[in-house]
Structure formats: structure tokens, C-alpha cells
Structure 1
């Protein structure tokens, strides 16, 4: 039987696995805590990454820009969201919060994509080029946050011609409403599959 996902066709996009998101002491963890725990997000994210590695599926780290104090000083159109991140120094450069969570450290063979400034991991980065150079046509998108960087990256991926899978319990959001919208309202307009971790692992 042909596998739905395998190393010749599929890449796993691990979006923003920073301490500020995933560690209890992280700056944004308190805002995602309720939702993350309701879906057992850390456990499912670990299971997804581990299963992908075991299946030989390459992991692509898709990191957000690490904040610096001079960010956006000369920009014409920074968004309120970007300015708020700058003010709070979320994922600050050279800080603990801007490091990858201990459970999600890069391994040999992983690809670290250039940092994205907004929400999409494709916009103004090398993600599309890296996927194409590795001959991949399918992307499984996991990490943070469901209704911002996950949705924007996955939607952009679909527009570029990739087959897109979302994993609804290997991500989180600031509110249950945002998580619901990402998977039940917006996701079906662009994703080819929206699965639970259990369903995904069965297909690997």
C-alpha cells in the first residue's frame, strides 16, 4: 500500500517552536496555556515530530523573526501586531525566549528556514526554494499559532501548489474560538486534510 505521506514527497513544517511559546516560563505561554492543555498540544507536537523523523520525513524549522529593539524603526507600514511584539521583545534575539524549546532541538538533516517577519513562513524566506530543492510536494504544518503563522503558512503553501495538511491538536491559539476558526471555518478553504495527531500517525 502506498503511504499517504513519505520521505520522497513530504516535509514537516515546525513553526515557531520557541521557549516563549512552549515553555511555562515563556512570555506567551500564559496566553496559550488553557488552549494548549485542552488539546494536549506539547505531547502531540512531540509525537508528530518524532513520528516524522522515524518515517524519514525531513523537518523544516520555520521560525519567526527574533525581536530586536530597533525593529521597524524605519519601516513604512509595521502592523500593530509587529509593534506589540517589539515592545514585549517576544522571541528576543540572543535570549532564552528566542531559543527553540529543549524538546524541539534541530537534528542532523533538518533545515532551518530564514526567519519570517509577518505570519507566513513562505513570504520573504527561502522555504519554497528549500522544499522544491528537496523535491517535496506535500507539507504537514504544525506549531504555533493556529490562526496566525500556521494558517498563513499553510494557506500560502496551497497557493504555491503544495498539498497541505493541518494537525489540529499539534498547535494552539490564544483562545478556543481562534483555534475553532482556524480548523473548522478557515482551514477547510485551503487545506487538503485536517487531522488529529492520532489520525496523522496512522498515515505515516
Structure 2
């Protein structure tokens, strides 16, 4: 893959406190992986590089509103997210209590994500972008290549990777700018994701290599 500012964009999934802050709802599950990969720092480095080089940045966020908690079925981690109040907001038009909450951006990312240029898409609801406007926003700007990073590796990143590929995008994954849950019964989500990244993605990069290419 060759990156250029007219056809390539950085896409971040869920750069939010509930995944990336020690006070977040999932830190007990993902914290070790986040720290081992230096995920927080690597995402920031990608943002710095993309903004400095003139690449567009898109965010596919994750929010849950009260009506989302009325779903009658779901997968294991999907149920867990609802149970622990992950990404909760009081309503789609209500920002009461949002600042600094688990649904908010990590504070150090705000200068980049709230610069008036970053495209913040509507929320995805389970793992992939099928329910939000990410693909529309990318296509409206002529983007055909995606540099993908964020949380979490075997869930939202892998689901975004698969759907974007099916939609005709060329996708590179930044393997150390993500992380995943490590669970004694469910297994190591990060290790599982790396296998599939290598099988599926157009290319799998380190943050260092991605910055060089940008």
C-alpha cells in the first residue's frame, strides 16, 4: 500500500475512556494489553502524524443510550458491555454528564478529535460499522484506503476491517495501536486478532512503520 492525502484516511474506533483509561469500565480486562502495546501513546502518535501530514481523520465511536439496553439478546461481550454500563449516555441528544465519562474521548486526544476537522461518525452499535455512516463519510471524500487503529482488536477493529474490505476499501491495520481483552476463560483477544489481521488485512503495520508511510 502507498498512502497519499487525497485517497487515504486514518480511521479510529472507540478512542474512549472506557477502553483506554485506567478508570474505564473495561480496564480490568484490557489494561494489560493496552500497556504492553503502548496503545494510548501509539494512537496519539498516529494522530499527530496524520494531522501534521494533512490526512483526514475519521472516528467510529461507540455509544449506548437507554433504549439500547432493551435488546432481548446478544453475544457474550455485547451483554457484558450493557451490564457494566460501557459507553453509556443518557440519550442521543443529551450530553449531560458526558465530559470525562467512559463514553468521552481520552483527554489527551481531544485537541486532535475536537479540532473542527476530524469527522466523528454516528455510533456503531455492536462491533462493525454497518450501522453507522463511516462508509458514507469516507466515500463522500474520495477515500479508498484506510489506516485502521483503535479499540478493541478482536472486536471493533476486526469487524471494521472485514466490513471495509467488503465495501471495497484497501485497509492497513496498525497492530500496536490497538489492544484487546485477556480473559481466563474466553482467551487472549489480542492474539486471536493478530492471526486474523495477518490473514485478512492489506498490510499489518507497526506504528513506527505507519508514521514513516504517512
Q: Pairwise mapping of residues 23-62 of structure 1 onto structure 2 (< 5 A)?
A: 23-62=21-60
TM-score, normalization by structure 2: 0.86
Of 139, 147, 156, the match for 2:154: 147
Residue 173 of structure 1 and its aligned partner are, at CA, apart by 0.6
Cα contact 2:21–2:106 (8 A) shared by 1: yes
Task: Give the TM-score normalised by the residue count of structure 1.
Answer: 0.90
Aligned partner of 2:133 among 119, 126, 131 = 126
Partner Cα separation in structure 1 for residue 31 and residue 80 of structure 2: 20
Coordinate RMSD, CA, aligned: 1.7
- The answer to whether structure 1 residue 112 and structure 2 residue 120 are counterparts is yes
**Range moving further from structure 2, 102-111 or 77-86:** 77-86
Partners of 1:32 and 1:174 within 8 A in 2: yes
Aligned-partner SS, 1:148: helix
Corresponding residue number in structure 1 for 2:81: 85
Given the alignment of the two structures, is residue 167 of structure 1 paired with residue 174 of structure 2, yes or no? yes
Residue 190 of structure 1 corresponds to 200
- Contact 1:144–1:173 at 8 Å: present in 2 too? yes
CA positional deviation for 1:76: 5.2
Alignment size in residue pairs: 198
> What does residue 192 of structure 2 align with?
181
Partner of 1:67: 64
Partner Cα distance (1:151, 1:92) in 2 = 22
2:211 corresponding residue in structure 1: 201
- Whole-Å Cα distance in 2 between the matches of residues 67 and 41 of structure 1? 24
Give the drift of 1:37.
1.2
2:64/2:88 contact within 8 Å kept: yes
TM-fit CA distance, 1:195: 0.5
Looking at structure 2, the residues matched to 44 and 35 of structure 1 have their Cα atoms a distance apart, in angstroms, of: 13
* Distance in 2 between residues matched to 1:21 and 1:32, nearest whole Å: 7
Give the Cα–Cα distance (whole angstroms) in 2 for the partners of residues 116 and 180 of structure 1: 24
Structure 2 unaligned residues grouped into runs of 5+:
90-96
Structure-1 residue corresponding to 2:92: none
1:72 shift after superposition: 4.1
